[in-house]
């Protein structure tokens, strides 16, 4: 790869724009790079950092002399500087607390852009959207996580359908990252005691407009080889590795913020992985002379905890000896509080008494929330014994339903249509339901043409993607066929794209293969299904389910109307949630805590067909999608699968397919388009991160803010 070209002085800010991931969700900024060199933009999968290393010098010179390009560039740079200043934002207008005491947000993964693959699934996507909205609202905010030099794996599927994991070292030259700097300008490195040794941690900064993320990496030559691997991969290794990672995330994360001069007013733990934050903060206060009880109460009143996991086995828990061994170096001379520390995590979730990270976080947070109303009920029931011992609150576990960062996930095509029919300031107020009433005024033929274009973009993307892999990698013909070669551009397209794991029942629609084949192969009303998703490397059940789908894609009985798109990531997700006609979600209830892919799809006019789990009981309004409801609940999982599959088939046969193909003389399906309008109108304002984050501020952050700021007066 060639060295980065020297940018013409007039557009020298392109490097600054490319290395601030704020551009990801701002149309003018994206358009700058599209217009600079569209072919290179496509070649690099929309990675402007890499793009600037490849674009020809003469193209840069031409852009620097093009008045239209310069006008767009100047406006993007103006918007970026405004975002960084945080002026005239929602927070600036409503708060007199300023930006000096931030919310510190800890998460094991962040999904920001496909060029930075440090995410595995929904938890990371939610965290990334949370951060983007924090920047938009002008919140004082800082994120803390891991860099993972090998990222999450790339997925490759063998000719017989078995998932293989490929790990690649992130090329820092092509990533929007930079070393974090200490006060003296040197690259920041912190030390984290771990067991009987010290692990050094380097820190990378990722800019997101008005906020920054700080990501940790142990891959330093000063560390032992096994310690260099601690941060290598997301969710890699055994339980011993996991507890060490979580100690570094929690304890190292606090030390990073101290070294950078941050004094957070609120500490938000996104899932139990970050629970050790509270131990480090308690340790600090003990060293200042506080009693353990005083220290714990101070930490509790400024800590917020979000749980995403609706099953006991999904919460990280470790043997006490393992925790004690690895925390020994952090405790130092505070060994007298050993029992106090361990008691904060002590809990039996049915597998014996262990050090449970969720129990640690719940005992140490004044604000605890689940991520949907139904998940709130499940969480309160699951943790009832622990809740009984917590300080009494009206809402011991609140429910703040997840949302999606709307301006990031809405398709460009739909956005152009909305610009014509919604109020001019709809982006600034997109969490206001009244704004979206104007969707009803969009002519059916206009919205249908928009949706047809969105499907065609997805269709072309899927086919071009598999063609390129065939040419580039000489993949086996079965993979070419399974990748979507025979998909039709105008057929009703069902999407199922999410983590491949058994509780999500990715193979439920194959419960009666003959019935499904008849549905897919109707010559007058064809249907096709596009699958995508990765199974966790250790999830054998998920891998077998994926293999089963792949083999169905090769089965002539289904006529090439089933496709599996390999290596699902944010880039693929954008095309699928925008371009499918139906979004299928059929988890085993109540194991879906929230689910955000369906929100993205619904806001784009993709109609949900879903079990009443996670967010859908709140989102389903009768005319904006369909509820898979067999009318019975079975204790036997096999019987429930059969009942749910039958209900799904009946919906598709009797309602979904007829509505899609019921056309007028101009080939417009008015009944379908009416539901598309209802989907956009009802879901977009209610299930966006703007509504979600404002709710976090009001219900979760403000008590901690008020305590922190009052303490400082």
Both 302 and 421 in one domain: the answer is no
Q: How far apart are CA 215 and CA 253, in angstroms?
A: 9
The answer, yes or no, to whether residue 495 has pLDDT greater than 90, is yes
Residues 493 and 634 in one domain: yes
**Sequence-ordered alpha helix ranges (H) in 621-662:** 637-651, 657-661
16 is a domain residue: yes
In a domain, 348, yes or no: no
Mean pLDDT, the chain, whole residue set: 94
Q: What is the Cα–Cα distance from 249 to 256, expressed in whole angstroms?
A: 10
Asked if pLDDT for residue 4 goes beyond 70, the answer is: no
Beta-carbon count within 10 A of 98 CB: 11
Peptide bond between residue 692 and the one before it cis (omega within 30 degrees of 0) = no
Q: What is the pLDDT of residues 530-560, one digit of tens each?
A: 999 999 998 999 999 999 999 999 999 999 9
pLDDT given for residue 710 in this prediction: 76
What are the helix and strand counts (H, E) for the chain? Answer: 32, 21
Query: Does residue 425 sit in the same domain as residue 285?
Result: no
Roughly how many angstroms between the first and final C-alpha of the chain, as a whole number?
A: 55
Count of all residues that appear for the chain in the document: 713
Residue 5's pLDDT band (cuts 50, 70, 90): low
Find out whether 693 and 133 touch, Cβ atoms under 8 Å. Answer: yes
Q: State whether 443 and 590 are in the same domain.
A: yes
* Rounded-to-integer distance, Cα 623 and Cα 208, Å: 37
Distances, alpha carbon 274 to alpha carbons 358, 431, 669, in Å? 9, 30, 49
One domain for residues 706 and 645: no
- For 382-415, the pLDDT digits (tens) are 999 999 998 888 889 999 999 999 999 999 999 9
Which tens digit of pLDDT belongs to each residue from 646-684? 999 999 999 999 999 999 999 999 999 999 999 999 999
The reply to whether 3 falls in a domain is: no
What count of other Cβ atoms lies within 10 Å of the Cβ of residue 562? 27
Would you say residue 420 lies in a domain?
yes
Burial class (CB in 10 A: 0-12, 13-18, 19+), 241: middle
pLDDT in tens, 567-611: 999 999 999 999 999 999 999 999 999 999 999 999 999 999 999
Query: What CATH number should be reported for the domain holding residue 112?
Result: 3.40.50.2000
Of 466, 459, 464, 467, the residue nearest 566 (C-alpha) = 466
Claim to verify: residue 59 and residue 205 sit in the same structural domain: no
Write down which residue in 41, 57, 85 finishes a domain: 85
Contacts of 340 (CB under 8 A, 6+ apart): 292, 296
Q: Where are the beta strands (DSSP E) in 26-73?
A: none
Helix axes 444-473, 412-421, angle to 10 degrees: 160
* pLDDT tens profile 83-126: 999 888 999 888 776 667 899 999 999 999 989 988 988 899 99
Last residue of a domain, one of 28, 60, 85: 85
Strand ranges across the sheet with 346-348: 317-318, 353-356, 346-348
Peptide bond connecting 590 to the previous residue in cis, omega within 30 degrees of 0: yes
**Structural domains in the chain (count):** 3
What's the pLDDT at 3?
54
The CA-CA-CA angle for residues 20, 24, 27, to 5°, reads: 115
* pLDDT tens, position by position, 281-337: 999 999 999 999 999 999 999 999 999 998 887 899 999 999 999 998 877 666 778
Contact 238, 230 (CB under 8 A): no
Q: Of 131-135, 149-153, 239-243, which range is least confident?
A: 149-153
Judged on CB neighbours under 10 Å (0-12, 13-18, 19+), 638 is: exposed
If asked whether residues 132 and 250 sit together in one domain, one would say: yes
Query: How much is the pLDDT for 712?
Result: 41
User: Does any domain span residue 338?
Assistant: no
Q: Are residues 366 and 453 in the same domain?
A: no
Would you say residue 437 lies in a domain? Answer: yes
CB 355 within 8 A of CB 365: no
Phi-psi category of residue 474: left, alpha or beta, with phi > 0 → left and psi -120 to 50 → alpha: left
490: exposed, middle or buried (Cβ count in 10 Å: 0-12, 13-18, 19+): exposed
Q: What is the mean pLDDT of residues 618-635?
A: 94
Q: Please check whether residues 659 and 700 belong to one and the same domain.
A: no
Q: Is 511 left (phi over 0), alpha (psi -120 to 50) or beta?
A: alpha
Domain that holds residue 18: 9-85
- Reported as half-sphere exposure (CB side, CA atoms, 13 A), residue 301 has a value of 13
If phi > 0 it is left, if psi is from -120 to 50 it is alpha, else beta; for residue 93 that is alpha
- Best CA proximity match to 533, nearest among 557, 502, 579, 578: 502
Q: Is residue 4 part of a domain?
A: no
Same domain for 589 and 698?
A: no
- The answer to whether the Cα torsion of 368, 373, 379, 380 is positive or negative is positive
Whether residues 569 and 447 fall in one domain = yes
Under 8 Å between Cβ of 145 and 249: yes
Has residue 139 been placed in a domain?
yes
Q: Are residues 115 and 70 in the same domain?
A: no
Rounded to the nearest angstrom, the gap between the alpha carbon of residue 549 and the centroid of all alpha carbons in its chain is 24
pLDDT at res. 334: 62
């Amino acid at each position: 790869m060639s060295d980065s070209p020297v940018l013409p002085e007039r557009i020298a800010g392109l490097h600054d724009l490319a290395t601030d991931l704020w551009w990801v969700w701002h149309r003018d900024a994206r358009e700058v790079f599209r217009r600079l060199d569209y072919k290179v933009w496509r070649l690099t999968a929309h990675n402007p950092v890499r793009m600037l290393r490849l674009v020809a010098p003469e193209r840069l010179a031409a852009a620097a002399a093009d008045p239209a390009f310069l006008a767009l560039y100047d406006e993007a740079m103006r918007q970026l500087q405004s975002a960084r200043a945080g002026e005239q934002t929602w927070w600036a207008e409503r708060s007199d607390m300023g930006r000096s005491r931030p919310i510190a947000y800890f998460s094991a993964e962040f999904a920001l852009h496909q060029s930075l693959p440090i995410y595995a699934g929904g938890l990371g996507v939610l965290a990334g959207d949370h951060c983007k909205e924090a920047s938009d609202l002008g919140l004082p905010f800082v994120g803390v996580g891991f860099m993972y030099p090998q990222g999450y794996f790339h997925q490759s599927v063998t000719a017989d359908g078995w998932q293989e994991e490929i790990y690649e070292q992130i090329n820092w030259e092509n990533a929007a990252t930079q070393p974090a700097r200490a006060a003296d300008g040197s690259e920041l490195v912190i030390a984290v005691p771990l067991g009987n040794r010290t692990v050094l941690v380097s820190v990378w900064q990722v800019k997101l407009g008005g906020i920054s993320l700080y990501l940790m990496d142990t891959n330093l030559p000063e560390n032992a080889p096994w310690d260099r691997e601690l941060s290598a991969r997301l969710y890699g290794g055994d339980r011993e590795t996991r507890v060490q990672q979580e100690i570094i995330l929690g304890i190292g994360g606090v030390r990073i913020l101290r070294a950078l001069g941050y004094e957070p007013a609120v500490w938000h733990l996104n899932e139990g992985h970050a629970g050790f934050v509270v131990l480090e903060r308690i340790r600090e206060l003990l060293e200042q002379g506080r009693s353990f009880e005083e220290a714990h109460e101070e930490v509790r009143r400024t800590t917020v905890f979000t749980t995403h996991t609706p099953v006991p086995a999904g919460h990280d828990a470790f043997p006490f000896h393992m925790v004690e061994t690895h925390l020994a170096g952090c405790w130092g001379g505070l060994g007298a509080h050993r029992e106090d520390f361990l008691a904060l995590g002590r809990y039996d979730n049915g597998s014996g008494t262990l050090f449970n990270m969720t129990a640690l976080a719940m005992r140490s947070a004044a604000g605890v929330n689940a991520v949907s109303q139904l998940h709130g009920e499940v969480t309160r029931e699951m943790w009832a014994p622990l809740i009984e011992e917590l300080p009494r609150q009206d809402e011991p576990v609140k429910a703040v339903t997840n949302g999606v960062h709307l301006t990031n996930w809405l398709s460009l095509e739909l956005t152009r249509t909305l610009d014509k029919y919604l109020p001019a300031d709809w982006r600034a107020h997109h969490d206001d339901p009244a704004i979206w009433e104007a969707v009803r005024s969009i002519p059916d033929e206009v919205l249908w043409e928009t949706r047809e274009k969105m499907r065609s973009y997805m269709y072309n993307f899927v086919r071009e993607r598999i063609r390129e892999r065939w040419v580039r990698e000489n993949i086996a013909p079965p993979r070419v066929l399974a990748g979507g070669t025979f998909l039709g551009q105008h057929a009703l397209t069902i999407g199922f794209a999410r983590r491949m794991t058994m509780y999500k029942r990715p193979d439920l629609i194959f419960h009666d293969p003959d019935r499904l084949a008849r549905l897919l192969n109707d010559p007058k009303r064809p249907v096709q299904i596009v699958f995508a998703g990765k199974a966790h490397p250790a999830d054998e059940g998920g891998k077998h389910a994926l293999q089963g789908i792949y083999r169905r894609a090769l089965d002539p009985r289904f006529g090439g109307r089933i496709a599996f798109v390999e290596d699902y990531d944010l880039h693929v997700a954008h095309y699928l949630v925008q371009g499918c006609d139906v979004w299928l979600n059929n988890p085993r209830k109540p194991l879906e805590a929230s689910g955000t892919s369906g929100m993205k799809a619904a806001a784009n006019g993709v109609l949900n067909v879903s079990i009443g789990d996670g967010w859908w009981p709140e989102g389903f309004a009768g005319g904006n999608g369909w509820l898979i409801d067999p009318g019975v609940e079975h204790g036997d999982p096999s019987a429930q699968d059969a009942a749910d599959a039958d209900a799904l088939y009946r919906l598709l046969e009797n309602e979904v397919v007829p509505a899609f193909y019921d056309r007028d003389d101009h080939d417009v399906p008015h009944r379908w388009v009416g539901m598309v309008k209802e989907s956009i109108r009802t879901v977009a304002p209610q299930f966006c991160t703007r509504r979600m984050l404002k709710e976090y501020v009001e219900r979760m952050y403000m008590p901690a803010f008020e305590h922190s700021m009052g303490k400082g007066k």
